[in-house]
């Protein structure tokens, strides 16, 4: 797949801060090693969780692959003094970056912020009705199963159906807590769909927290509308 994208990243190097010292020590990095922290977000700085990445050194002496955590991060110990190629994959699209880790003395932490902005035209978006969670929890209540079973059947009977499960909250509480809660709820729904046989390459989960409200958060009714789950259809 080919898509026009704009990728922005910043590289911050800290060789003497207390934070770097602690992180390097906690991870048992050697004098010849550095801590490489990658942070993947969308253009609105919302973390991209469960994104596949690979990191390889130019001389092919180091290679690692994995998934970003719920904060859109990955943390690795890598040899100093090498150039690294970083590949991030989302929805079948691959984005390539390079990173130079200098060979300096002392604790070294290299932080890269990847802000990805690309155009994904969702064909349609609809609210997933009758999805229930307890307050501040992400365990799916059994009353939600009929709706999710029906959604799973859509995936199974339509082999080109690809969608994002989008979770949202109201604005009560801290921004970061709402973001994590929405991500965990979206993850829970995706996990349920996978348990029903849905191909993991065709369903994605994204928590948007209190961003993009559809009603005012000044009333209980408005907040209830903002606490929602949507299905964003990419292909069908």
User: Which CATH number belongs to the domain containing residue 224 in this structure?
Assistant: 3.30.1330.60
- Report the side by side order of strands in the sheet with 109-118: 5-14, 109-118, 33-42, 73-79
Distance of alpha carbon 97 from alpha carbon 53, whole angstroms: 11
**Structural domain that includes position 96:** 5-118
Residues 128 and 231 in one domain: yes
Q: Which of 73, 90, 118 is the last residue of a domain?
A: 118
Structure pTM? 0.66
| Per-residue confidence in pLDDT tens, the chain, 236 aa | 333 333 333 344 433 334 455 667 777 889 999 999 999 888 778 888 888 999 999 999 999 999 999 888 999 999 999 999 999 887 677 888 889 999 998 889 999 887 776 556 678 899 999 999 988 899 999 999 999 999 999 999 999 999 999 999 999 999 999 999 999 999 999 999 999 999 998 998 999 999 999 999 999 999 999 999 999 998 88
Q: Which of 118, 149, 178 is the last residue of a domain?
A: 118
| Both tokens assigned to 63 | 């290679």
The answer to whether 138 and 181 have CB atoms below 8 angstroms apart is yes
């Amino acid at each position: 797949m080919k898509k026009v994208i704009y990728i922005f990243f910043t590289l911050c190097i800290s060789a003497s801060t207390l934070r770097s010292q602690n992180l390097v020590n906690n991870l048992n990095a050697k004098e010849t090693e550095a801590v490489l922290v990658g942070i993947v977000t969308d253009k609105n700085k919302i973390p991209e969780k469960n994104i596949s990445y690979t990191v390889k050194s130019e001389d092919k002496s180091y290679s690692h692959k994995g998934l970003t955590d719920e904060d859109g991060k990955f943390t690795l110990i890598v040899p100093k003094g090498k150039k690294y190629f970083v590949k991030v994959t989302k929805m079948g699209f691959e984005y390539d970056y390079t990173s130079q880790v200098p060979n300096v003395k002392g604790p070294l932490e290299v932080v890269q912020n990847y802000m990805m902005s690309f155009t994904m035209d969702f064909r349609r978006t609809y609210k997933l009705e009758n999805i229930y969670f307890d307050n501040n929890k992400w365990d799916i209540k059994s009353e939600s199963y009929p709706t999710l079973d029906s959604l799973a059947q859509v995936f199974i009977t339509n082999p080109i159906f690809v969608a994002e499960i989008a979770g949202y909250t109201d604005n009560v509480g801290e921004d970061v807590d709402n973001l994590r809660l929405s991500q965990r709820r979206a993850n829970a729904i995706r996990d349920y769909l996978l348990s029903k046989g849905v191909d993991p390459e065709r369903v994605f989960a994204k928590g948007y927290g209190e961003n993009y409200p559809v009603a005012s958060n000044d009333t209980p009714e408005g907040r209830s509308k903002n606490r929602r789950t949507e299905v964003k259809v990419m292909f069908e």
